[in-house]
Amino acid sequence: MKENDKLAQVRCFLLDMDGTFYLGERLIEGALEFIDVLHQQGREFLFLTNNSSKDSGQYAEKITRLGLSIPREKVMTSGEATTMHIQSQRPGARVYVVGTPALENEFIESGFVLTHEMPDFAVLGFDTTLTYAKLWKLCDLVRAGMPYIATHPDYNCPTETGFMPDIGAMIAFVKAATGREPDLVVGKPNRIFIEKAAERVGIPVSAMCMIGDRLYTDIAIGETAGIATILVLSGETRAEEVPMSAYQPSYMFQNLGAVADYLSSVDFAK
C-alpha cells in the first residue's frame, strides 16, 4: 500500500495468545508463517497475555512445544506486570493473592510476602484453582477497604471446545457481594501493560502494534496507549460484533495467516 499505512512504522508486534496464536493445544492457522514474516522484515514480537493463571516460563514452554522455540523473555503476562507495578509502589509488600500456584510463585519470586492476615494489597488473578473460601476471604478484605487489584478484566477464556469463565466473572462476584470494583486492573486495556512491554523490548510505545481477538481488551488498549491494533477473528470476537463496539480496530483479519499475507504483499516503501 502506502507509507502512511499504520503498519509501516511498527517495529514490534504485541501478540495475544489465547484465541490469537493458539487455541488449547492447536496453533491457529498461519501463526508460524506470521513469525517468519516478522523475521524476514526485521521486526520484533512479544507475547502479551492477560491470562495470569500461568507464568511466562510455562507459556514459553507451551509455545515451544507447539512449534516456535522461544525463551520466557518473549512472554509477558498480566500477572508479571502486576508484580512489577506493586513492586514500584511498595517493594516487599504483604499481599493476599487469589490465584493459581504459578501466580503465587511469581509474587514470592518478586520478594512479596503472601498472607491471609493484614495484607497491604488484595490481588485477584485468573484462578483456575478457585475455592469459595478464597472468594469469601477476598470479599472480607475488599469490604474492609483493602487496596484491591485485578490482573486483567477478561470475561471468558477461549478454548478448543468453547469458553471457560475468566476473571471478569470473579470480579462480578466480588462486586455483587461488596459493592466494589477493583481499584486497578493492570492488564489490557490498561496502558501500564504496554509501557512494561516497551521496557522489556527497548522499543517506544509509538512503534508498537497490538494483535488480539478481544475488542474490550486487545483493541481497547490501542486507544489508551495510542497504538495501532489488529483484530483477528480466530478467538472471542465475531465480525458482526465489530460495528457495534466502542473500540474499533485499525485492521481486521481472519487470523495471523491473513496478517502475514498482508505484510508480505504490501510494499511499505511506496
What is the per-residue pLDDT for 1?
39
Name the strands in the sheet holding 44-49, side by side, starting at the edge strand that comes first in the sequence.
Answer: 75-77, 44-49, 12-15, 208-212, 228-232, 251-253
Question: To the nearest 10°, the Cα dihedral for 54, 98, 196, 22?
Answer: 30
Length of the chain: 270
With cut-offs at 50, 70 and 90, classify the pLDDT of residue 154: confident
The structural domains of the chain, ordered by start, are 6-50+188-265 (3.40.50.1000), 80-185 (3.40.50.1000)
The rounded distance, in Å, linking the Cα atoms of 78 and 43 is 23
What is the per-residue pLDDT for 269?
60
The rounded distance, in Å, linking the Cα atoms of 96 and 222 is 31
Cα angle 171, 193, 155 (rounded to 5 degrees) comes to 30
In the predicted structure, residue 258 carries a pLDDT above the cut 80: yes
Looking at the DSSP bridge assignments, the partners of residue 96 are 122
Q: What is the CB neighbour count within 10 angstroms for residue 36?
A: 14
Contact 60, 77 (CB under 8 A): no
The rounded distance, in Å, linking the Cα atoms of 35 and 41 is 10
The rounded distance, in Å, linking the Cα atoms of 234 and 26 is 12
Segment 188-240, tens digit of pLDDT: 999 999 998 998 999 999 999 999 998 988 999 998 999 999 999 999 899 99
Contact 119, 141 (CB under 8 A): yes
With cut-offs at 50, 70 and 90, classify the pLDDT of residue 270: low
Buried b (16+ CB within 10 A) or exposed e, 69-83: ebebebbbbbbbbbb
What is the per-residue pLDDT for 3?
46
What is the per-residue pLDDT for 4?
61
Segment 117-146, tens digit of pLDDT: 999 999 999 999 999 999 999 999 999 999
